């Protein structure tokens, strides 16, 4: 049930199901976008609720943690940057509600000026945070038309892959858009296929025990997604700008926010899935995808990488490079120095692999047969090899398109069974480019494909020889990445990461380590501790009964259902009143006397080859357990 108060104050009654023992902090999330007529940012939306613990947050009521996420771009880059994609998300966490509420006022101004939608957890509405006053202020204004939320869409929620209680997991939800009631089964199958694809044998496979996947179905009145900037009659109003395969945008963000918010701990990362078979998507507050057979999983894992690991791009031509896979240069130790194949000698920097990008163009242009699309670039002639990298959609046959380089045909052939969907191609030439002007040309041959055939992007990169540029997969070093302004940042590998090459199924080790740390900052390795009673042998000095204390751990290492290649271990220690109980090291069940008021402490440390540096101790959890009653009463 939820209440809608005029003036956009939405109060949700959230029942925190299966919450673990231990105090839960509060979370404030503020979405801002650039103000059209001033340099200030305006608040677009605000969430305020109780949330899952964060291991980095001190219990101290004077403390909070915050982080700001620029809204990341979409896979492939070069999308138009509309105001929505320039929105920023700032998250604050604290155990002090008053402190968070004052942050909300700091960022969004006095509530009398608010016109954004506000999502509040019912149990936060009390005198402590001055909300009573706020409500009075908010009861008068009539919401501008078009921004009213009628209701949370009806959600038919089905688990896809569950690993544990949502209060102690990171939960991803697929929401349906453009699937009619008759297409419910198709939605469930699409969602299941994508969840399986990104977690079964690659990408999120090793961290799967920290994740839950859900499908939340809302029937649409119309099937499919909108085109030409016009949404259809669907719950979240997804649409494409034109008809070409590119971004997929949403027109009802408040509906999507309400849907995710209403699910509480079950919705950490919302995914809006538009019922369209071809490429498209968007990153940011919501991950927008299509179930395209060729591209759905590619877009999904790339965008989730942005959201969960909090990394920027790795491909050339982007504008945001940050996180564990990016460094401005090699002057300071690299964030991935623990992964370098050849650690540099003390007081020296790693070598920067020798390459340059003489051409980068996100054309996103429809091709025609009257005149080819072509572009020239200048080469210095100083490199040993080069690659022509491009992506196309709407060209199913090789006869339909000639890709030419300096007048010669590059012999492009489409990916098998790609049809009209988008795909990425690399044509590598193991010879130097002569100094001077060169030309790449895309000549459409089949008139029937006009209006469909599209050149999405084209890039030329030149490389030094094997001693100057190590292109081998598995080599960790310092590779230059070139932004849309041709500014250089450094990345760890040549092409090992799906944040660079969306067709690569895996993250590089730096990103994967970031993924573990991000997830384990929110997941307690201990799912549950409970006590039991067993009859002790006659000889026992403490009477007839003994207690068992049982630890239920998140199923990693030897407790996994399915094994993984990476070596992992759990190290468990127990103590009683501060004294270590050596005999119980690495045991999940211990046997102790039946006494009241004794406190046992357990501390658990997880290790995996995929994490080499755990600065904040996120791979550890500890818990006290006090026996409060006797078996024999």
Residues found near ligand NAG in the complex (CB under 6 A): 61-62, 96, 98-99, 102, 201-202, 218, 220-221, 233-235, 341, 356-360, 365, 368, 370-371, 373, 466-467, 470, 472, 474-475, 486, 505, 569, 571, 585-586
278 three-class SS: coil
What is the Cα–Cα distance from 102 to 62, expressed in whole angstroms? Answer: 13
In the complex, what is the shortest distance from the CB of residue 14 to ligand NAG, in angstroms, rounded to a whole number?
22
Dihedral (Cα; 360, 361, 367, 373), 10-degree rounding: -60
Beta-bridged to residue 44, according to DSSP, are: none
Closest C-alpha among 472, 613, 591 to residue 540? 591
Closest approach, Cβ 17 to ligand NAG, in A, equals 26
Q: Which is nearer to ligand NAG, 185 or 586 (CB)?
A: 586
What would the 3-class secondary structure string for 409-443 be?
A: ECCCCCCCCCCCCCEEEEEEECCCCCCEEEEEEEE
CB of 193 to ligand NAG, least distance (A): 11
Tokens (6 digits) for 225: 């997604």
Minimum CB separation of residue 285 from ligand NAG in Å reads: 20
Q: Which run of H or E residues covers position 524?
A: none
CB-nearer residue toward ligand NAG: 112 or 201: 201
Q: Residue 356 or residue 556: which is nearer to ligand NAG going by CB?
A: 356
Taking the complex as a whole, the smallest distance from the CB of residue 631 to ligand NAG amounts, in Å, to 29
CA atoms lying within 13 Å on the CB side of residue 427? 17
Q: Is 105 left (phi over 0), alpha (psi -120 to 50) or beta?
A: alpha
The nearest distance, CB 75 to ligand NAG, in angstroms, is 19
The residues with which 32 forms a beta bridge, in sequence order, are 43, 88
Phi-psi region of 498 (alpha: psi -120 to 50; beta: other; left: phi over 0): alpha
Instruction: Report, in Å, the least distance between residue 411 CB and ligand NAG.
Output: 22
* Choice between 163 and 218, CB closer to ligand NAG: 218
Give whichever of 75 and 480 is closer to ligand NAG, judged by the CB atom. Answer: 480
SS3 (DSSP) at 347 = coil
Place of tokens 């932004």: 483
Smallest distance from ligand NAG to CB 197, Å? 8
User: Between residues 166 and 606, which has the closer beta carbon with respect to ligand NAG?
Assistant: 606
Identity of the residue, 70 or 555, whose beta carbon is nearer to ligand NAG in the bound complex: 555
> Least distance (Å) from ligand NAG to the CB of residue 213?
17
Shortest Å distance, C-beta 265 to ligand NAG:
24
Q: Of 233 and 397, which has the nearer Cβ to ligand NAG?
A: 233
Q: CB of 465: closest distance to ligand NAG in angstroms? A: 9
- If the CB atoms of residues 136 and 569 are measured against ligand NAG, the closer one turns out to be 569
CA distance 583 to 626: 20
Nearer to ligand NAG, 316 or 594 (CB): 316
Half-sphere exposure of 141 (CA within 13 A, CB side): 18
Minimum CB–partner distance for residue 357 and ligand NAG (Å): 5
C-alpha–C-alpha distance, residues 606 and 560, integer Å? 13
Report the residue number, 102 or 123, with the smaller CB distance to ligand NAG.
Answer: 102
Bridge pairing between strands 454-463 and 355-361: antiparallel
Distance CA 77, CA 72 (A): 10
Cα separations in angstroms, 594 against 108, 483, 632: 55, 65, 8
Nearer to ligand NAG, 54 or 605 (CB): 605
CA pseudo-torsion sign 309, 315, 320, 324: positive
In three-state secondary structure terms, 257 is: helix
CB of 312 to ligand NAG, least distance (A): 19
Residue 488 Cβ vs ligand NAG, minimum distance, rounded to whole Å: 8
Q: Are 608 and 206 in contact (CB under 8 A)?
A: yes
Contact criterion met (CB below 8 Å) for 96 and 62: yes
Rounded-to-integer distance, Cα 266 and Cα 440, Å: 49
- Nearer CB in complex with ligand NAG: 66/585: 585
**Contact call for residues 462 and 477 (beta carbons, < 8 A):** no
CB nearer to ligand NAG: give 81 or 571.
571
Measured distance CA(245)–CA(314) in Å, rounded: 22
Burial profile 329-342: b = 16 or more Cβ within 10 angstroms, e = fewer? ebeeebbbbebbee
Which residue in 381, 382, 438, 434 sits closest to 408, CA to CA?
Answer: 438
Q: Which two tokens stand for residue 353?
A: 């692999």
């Amino acid at each position: 049930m939820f209440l809608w108060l005029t003036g956009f104050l939405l109060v949700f009654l959230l029942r925190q199901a299966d919450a673990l023992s231990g105090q839960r902090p509060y979370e404030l999330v503020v979405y801002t976008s650039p103000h059209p007529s001033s340099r200030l940012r305006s608040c677009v939306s605000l969430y305020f609720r109780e949330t899952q613990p964060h291991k980095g947050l001190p219990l101290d009521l004077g403390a909070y943690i915050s982080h700001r996420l620029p809204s990341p771009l979409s896979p492939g880059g070069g999308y138009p940057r509309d105001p929505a994609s320039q929105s920023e998300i700032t998250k604050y966490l604290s155990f002090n509600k008053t402190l968070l509420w004052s942050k909300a006022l700091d960022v969004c101004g006095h509530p009398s000026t608010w016109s954004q939608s506000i999502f509040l957890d019912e149990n936060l509405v009390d005198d402590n945070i001055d909300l009573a006053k706020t409500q009075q202020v908010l009861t008068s204004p009539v919401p501008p038309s078009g921004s009213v939320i009628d209701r949370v869409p009806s959600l038919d929620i089905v688990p896809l892959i569950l690993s544990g209680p949502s209060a102690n997991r990171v939960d991803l939800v697929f929401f349906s858009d453009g699937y009619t009631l008759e297409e419910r089964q198709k939605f469930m199958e699409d969602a299941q296929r994508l969840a399986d694809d990104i977690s079964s044998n690659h990408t999120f496979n090793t961290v799967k025990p920290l994740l839950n996947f859900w499908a939340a179905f809302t029937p649409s009145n119309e099937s499919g997604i909108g085109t030409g900037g016009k949404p259809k009659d669907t719950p979240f109003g997804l649409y494409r700008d034109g008809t070409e395969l590119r971004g997929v945008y949403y027109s009802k963000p408040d509906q999507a926010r309400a849907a995710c918010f209403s699910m509480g701990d079950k919705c950490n990362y919302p995914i809006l899935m538009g019922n369209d078979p071809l490429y498209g998507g968007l990153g940011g507050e919501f991950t927008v995808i299509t179930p395209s057979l060729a591209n759905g999983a590619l877009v999904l894992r790339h965008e989730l990488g942005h959201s969960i690991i909090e990394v920027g791009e790795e491909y050339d031509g982007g504008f945001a490079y940050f996180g564990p896979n990016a460094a401005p240069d090699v002057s300071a130790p690299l964030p991935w120095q623990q992964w370098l194949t050849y650690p540099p000698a003390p007081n020296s920097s790693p070598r920067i692999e020798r390459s340059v990008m003489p051409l980068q163009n996100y054309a996103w242009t429809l091709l025609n047969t009257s005149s080819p699309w072509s572009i020239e670039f200048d080469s210095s002639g100083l490199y040993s090899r080069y690659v022509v990298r491009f992506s196309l959609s709407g060209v199913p046959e090789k006869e339909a398109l000639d890709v030419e380089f300096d007048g010669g045909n590059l012999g492009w052939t489409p990916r098998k069974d790609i049809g009209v969907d988008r795909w990425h191609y690399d044509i590598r030439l193991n010879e130097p480019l002569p100094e001077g002007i060169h030309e790449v040309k895309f000549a459409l041959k089949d008139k029937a494909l006009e209006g469909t055939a599209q050149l999405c992007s084209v890039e030329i990169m030149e490389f030094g020889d094997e001693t100057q540029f190590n292109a081998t997969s598995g080599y960790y070093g310092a590779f230059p990445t070139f932004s849309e302004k041709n500014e250089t940042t450094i990345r760890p590998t040549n092409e090992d990461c799906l944040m660079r090459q969306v067709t690569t199924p895996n993250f590089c080790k730096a990103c994967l380590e970031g993924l573990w740390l991000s997830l384990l900052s929110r997941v307690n390795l201990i799912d549950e501790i409970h006590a039991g009673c067993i009859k002790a042998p006659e000889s026992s000095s403490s009477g007839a009964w003994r207690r068992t204390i049982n630890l239920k751990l998140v199923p990693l290492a030897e407790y996994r259902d399915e094994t993984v290649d990476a070596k992992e271990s759990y190290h468990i220690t127990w103590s009683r009143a501060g004294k270590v109980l050596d005999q119980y090291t690495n045991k999940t069940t211990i046997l102790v006397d039946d006494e009241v008021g004794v406190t046992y402490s357990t501390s658990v440390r997880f290790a995996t080859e995929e994490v080499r540096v755990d600065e904040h101790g996120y791979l550890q959890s500890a818990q006290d357990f006090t026996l409060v009653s006797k078996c024999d009463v």
